Chains A and B, each alone.
Chain A
Amino acid sequence: MVPTSYFLVLSAVLFGLGVVAFVFKRNILTIFMSIELMLNAVNLAFVTFSRALGQLQGQVFVFFVIVVAAAEAAVGLGIVILIHRNRGTLNVERVDSLKD
């Protein structure tokens, strides 16, 4: 039996790496992917707690997270395509017309 804390530490590491990727990456698609990575890390924590507390609700929550992630990906990628069509770039630092 693997101790619960191992899974939670892994979840924390993955979430942290997701945050770091979100801050460091410049490509809007990769930024989206780092959000997915964070959601995945949270899912791992949900499943782990579901086992640790002996309740299934954690796993039910994972489904809702996955559904929201799917919806978010669909809308987000639509926006990405639109940005690419209007600006010709995927670099978030060049999408700065609100700055001026």
Chain B
Amino acid sequence: MTAQIAVFLVLAAVAVAGAISLILQRHPIHSALSLITVMVALAGLYLLQGAEFVAAVQIIVYGGAIMVLFVFVIMLLNAGEEERTNMSSMAHYVGVPLGVVFVIEMAYWIGRATLHMNARASGVVSTRDLSNLLFREYVFPFELTSFLILIALLGALVLARREESE
């Protein structure tokens, strides 16, 4: 077993543990922390594949902005523990096993289908190549995303604003 595979196994274990913890935790803050763990582990996996810039962006945008927004809203709304709804026996005895079967099934078939796939590129992707592609070939979609963000910004503003009371 090479060192890379060992690193992969550790990071993958952390990511899966985080994702399971996201489901099991009752408090939204704990779920959010689990998700942040998954994201950091994924950033490590991107680094392992030589995608340095994506790894940094993953942590800066997902970890440092989007999840902060989540934590912020949880703090702001003072969201408490999730209410336990009376799980019907149907959900308990059929739903949970079905969920497990679904995950295993998907992983199995995807693993089987790609078993003999070999990585064609190796080494580190240079940020320069990536930005050339992003700002030359994909400059139009890139500009469109800025419109998307602007619209999202306005939408969030309109939604969260308190109505002026007469």
Q: Which A residues form the contact surface with B (CB < 8 A)?
A: 1-21, 23-27, 29-30, 32-34, 36-37, 40, 43-44, 47-48, 50-57, 59-60, 62-64, 66-75, 77-82, 84, 90-91, 93
Interface class of chain B by DSSP: helix
Tell me whether B94 is interfacial, beta carbon within 8 Å: no
Most chain B beta-carbon neighbours within 10 Å: one of A5, A44, A68: A5
Known A-B contacts A36-B35, A70-B61, A75-B152; the reply to A9 vs B103 at CB < 8 A is no
Q: Assess the A14–B15 pair: CB atoms within 8 A.
A: yes
User: What are the residues of chain A within 8 A of B111 when measuring CB–CB?
Assistant: 5, 8-9, 12
A90 to chain B, nearest CB (A): 6
User: What are the residues of chain A within 8 A of B46 when measuring CB–CB?
Assistant: 44, 47
**Docked complex Cα distance between A79 and B129 (Å):** 39
Known A-B contacts A12-B107, A43-B58, A79-B159; the reply to A53 vs B120 at CB < 8 A is yes
Q: Assess the A27–B28 pair: CB atoms within 8 A.
A: yes
Number of A-B contacts (CB under 8 A): 233
Q: Which B residues form the contact surface with A (CB < 8 A)?
A: 2, 4-5, 8, 12, 15-16, 19-20, 22-23, 28, 31-32, 35, 38-39, 42, 45-46, 48-51, 53-54, 57-58, 61-62, 65-67, 69-70, 73-74, 76-77, 79, 82-83, 85, 95, 99, 102-103, 106-107, 110-111, 114-115, 117-122, 125, 129-130, 133-134, 138, 141, 145, 148-149, 151-153, 155-160
Q: Which of A5, A15, A20, A44 contacts B114 (CB 8 A)?
A: A5
B149 to chain A, nearest CB (A): 6
Q: Assess the B149–A71 pair: CB atoms within 8 A.
A: yes
